[in-house]
């Protein structure tokens, strides 16, 4: 691949694990509607927007609501989630990620965030990691969710870097597909069996250096 000029990161499951907070908030909403949400069902919500997640949950529960009711429930869920996210501290950054970002910055590689979350800046502030990112493309900016490539193409445009010089880090299948559709090289964070559409899959950033990873791309 061409020389990497920019790296674009998903948030949840890549920089920090907020999945547990999303699950607790969504499960509370499901219980409120009269049914339960299992951890297995929660996997269906990975990497997609809040309203898309709500639609899936309502389908699981066989519940039909009008748009006004859905908007109200999505807002309630987000308030629960934000309350839970107040527990996040700088120590909650996933192992090795802060060091990896330091290495990118030392190599003058631009860094962007590409996330469906509308709370990305709040979470990054709690992590004390906001200054690592040259641009943030989140749910407040995008109009199309992953696997559409919009989020990463916007990030590349913000950074003035052509897609073929960008590297995407994702833990969700939809996110990997989004990066691929944008014409970028993709690094899956997780299991090879799940993220087999990624160019390379790693367990996480702990023990992974920028030089070693980039060496595998050539």
Neighbours of 152 (CB within 10 A): 30
Cβ pair 8, 152 in contact under 8 A? yes
DSSP SS3 for 161: coil
DSSP SS3 for 160: coil
Alpha carbons within 13 angstroms on the beta-carbon side of residue 173 total 9
User: Which segments of the chain does DSSP mark as H helices, in order?
Assistant: 19-32, 39-42, 50-61, 67-85, 97-106, 120-127, 150-159, 173-181, 210-215
Residues carrying an active site annotation: 10, 12
Alpha-carbon distance of 122 to 2, in angstroms, equals 34
């Amino acid at each position: 691949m061409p020389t990497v000029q920019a790296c674009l990161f998903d948030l949840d499951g890549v920089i920090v694990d907020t999945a547990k907070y999303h699950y607790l908030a969504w499960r509370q909403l499901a219980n409120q509607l009269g049914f339960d949400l299992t951890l297995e069902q929660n996997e269906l919500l990975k990497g997609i927007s809040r309203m898309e997640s709500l639609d899936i949950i309502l389908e699981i529960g066989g519940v039909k609501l009008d748009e006004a009711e859905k908007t109200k429930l999505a807002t309630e869920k987000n308030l629960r989630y934000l309350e839970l996210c107040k527990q996040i501290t700088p120590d909650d950054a996933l192992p090795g990620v802060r060091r990896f970002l330091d290495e990118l910055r030392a190599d003058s590689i631009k860094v962007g965030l590409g996330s469906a979350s509308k709370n990305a800046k709040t979470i990054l502030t709690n992590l004390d990691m906001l200054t690592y990112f040259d641009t943030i493309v989140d749910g407040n900016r995008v109009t199309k969710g992953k696997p559409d490539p919009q989020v990463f193409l916007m990030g590349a445009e913000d950074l003035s870097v052509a897609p073929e010089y960008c590297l995407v880090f994702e833990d969700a299948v939809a996110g990997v597909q989004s990066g691929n559709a944008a014409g970028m090289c993709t690094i899956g964070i997780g299991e090879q069996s799940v993220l087999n559409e990624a160019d390379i899959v790693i367990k996480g950033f702990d023990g992974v250096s920028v030089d070693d990873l980039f060496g595998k791309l050539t």
